[in-house]
Amino acid sequence: MTPVLPPVLIECPARITAAGTKPKLIDEYVGRVNSATEALSVAHMRSPGGWIEPGQTPDFDEYTVVLKGLLRVEHAGGAVDVRAGQAVISHRGCWVRYSTPEPEGAEYIAVCGPAFTLDGAHRDSK
């Protein structure tokens, strides 16, 4: 029988360096960096207006809930604008590029399964 583990308190997130055209704040609560969790990652993102991330074809699914502002998710077939109170699922193997085109930027929670890794993101070389 597998032992049952007690709850683990995560007292604070780890600040992660972000990719993109402007500084973006990433605070990872659960994931490979902050909790040594490989199954999934949970991060609080704060992106300024005009931020654009390199395109990627990740090895993970990403579930994103927008708390404030607008997050644009470009994909091979077009783009999806996700506003505060909405969510989007980006599936592994699908090319996507995230951006925050409006002046106020966006704040959102991203959950990746399995946990985010830079190598697993397969970012565009440009």
**25-121, what's its fold?**
Jelly Rolls (2.60.120)
Query: Is residue 126 scored above 80 in pLDDT?
Result: no
Instruction: Enumerate residues 6+ apart whose C-beta is below 8 A from 32.
Output: 38, 41, 115, 116, 117
Per-residue b or e along 69-106, where b marks 16 or more CB atoms closer than 10 Å to that residue's CB = bbbbbbeeeeeeebeeeeebebeeebebbbbbbeeebb
pLDDT in tens, 27-72: 999 999 999 999 999 999 999 999 999 999 999 999 999 999 999 9
> Which residue bears the tokens 């074809």?
57
* pLDDT for residue 20: 86
Quote the mean pLDDT of the chain: 96
What per-residue confidence (pLDDT) applies to 117? 96
The percentage of residues in the chain with a pLDDT greater than 90, rounded to a whole number, is 91
